Amino acid sequence: MNLDPSRRALDHLQQICLLTDAEHAAATNDPELPNALFRTPAEALAWVVAREFVPQAQLADLPARAAPGQENEAQAIVSEATDLISGEFPLPPWAQLHIRLLDRRVHDGVSANALDQLLNLQLIDAAQHAHSLSMLPTHQEGWAAPDSLPATLAWTVLRSGALSEDELKALAGRTSHTDIVADAIARIDGAKTTTRVTSTSTTFSLDSMDFSTTSSSSTTALPSMPFAVPPSSASQTRTFTWTSSSTSGPAPSRWKNKLIGAVVVALIALYLLFGR
C-alpha cells in the first residue's frame, strides 16, 4: 500500500517514537492534513508542532524518546524541524512553516536526471544545463518527489534563472514536446497571481519620535507567497512596509491564509517598536 507523502512522514515519526500513538492519531485525523504541504519527517514534525499536537516547548526534548539505534536520526529531524518553525521575526510557527514549505515544494521533482533528459530533448542547451546543475537543490534520499521534467523545466525559470519566461514560451512553438512545455508554463502561472496591491509605509524616527505614513496602489503580477518581510536596518529611522493583496481568483484555504496579513502586521509592528 502506497501512502501519500504526508501520511508516510507522520508514520515514520511514530515508528521511531518521536510521536506517541495518541499524538500520531491526532495528527492523522486532523481535517487540515489533506491540505498539508509537507513530505519529509522533519517537515511533518514541524507541522505537528505548528498544529499544537506537540507543544513547542517540548520539541528540544523529543530526541530522548527515540527508539534504540534511532537517536542520531531523531536529533537530525528535531533540529531541522526547529529551524523550519523559527526565524528572525516573531511570527507564529505555522506562518514560519508555511513560508518555508511553499519554497521547498517548488523544488519537488527537480533533479540532475530530469535536467539530463531536458538536454537530450533539446528543451535546454548545454550552457543552461550546466548552469542549472550547479544550482540543484539537495533532496533527502527516500523522501524526495519523483523526477519531473515539467517541474524541472519550470524550476529553470523560477529558481535557477537558466531560462527566461519568454524563452520557455518560445519553446512551445518549436518543439515536439509541447506537453512538457505547457505543463511547465502552467506551473509558473500557478506560482503567480494578478493582484491589486496597496502598500503602506510607516516611518518612525527615533530623533523626533514622529510617525509618517504614505500609501500607494497598483495592479501587478506577484509570486504567490503570503507576505514578504523587509530586511532590518541599522539606521535610526526604520521603515516597515506591508503589502496587502486581494486576488482575482479563489484563494487557497490552507493554513489560515486569511489570518496571515493581520497577524504579520501586528507582530512585526510590535517587534520594530519594542523589540529593538
215-274 tens-digit pLDDT? 454 444 434 433 223 233 333 333 333 333 334 444 444 444 445 555 555 565 555 555
CA distances in angstroms from 194 to 129, 184, 189, listed in the order given: 31, 18, 10
What percentage of residues in the chain have a pLDDT greater than 90? 58
Q: Is the pLDDT of residue 209 over 60?
A: no
Round to whole Å and give the CA distance between 114 and 25.
Answer: 37
Quote the mean pLDDT of the chain: 78
Residue 219 — φ and ψ, nearest 5°?
-110, 125
Question: What contacts 107, CB < 8 A, 6 or more positions away?
Answer: 137, 139, 155, 159
Going through 182-267 in order, the beta strands assigned E by DSSP cover 192-205, 211-223, 237-247
- Other CB atoms within a 10 A radius of the CB of residue 193 amount to 18
Q: Which pLDDT belongs to residue 172?
A: 86
Q: Which pLDDT belongs to residue 245?
A: 39
**Apex CA 146: angle with CA 140 and CA 147, to 5°?**
100
Q: Which pLDDT belongs to residue 260?
A: 55
Q: Is pLDDT larger for residue 161 or for residue 257?
A: 161
Q: Is the pLDDT of residue 37 over 80?
A: yes
Q: Which pLDDT belongs to residue 138?
A: 87
Q: Is the pLDDT of residue 77 over 90?
A: yes
Contact 47, 13 (CB under 8 A): no
For 45: left if phi > 0, alpha if psi spans -120 to 50, otherwise beta; the answer is alpha
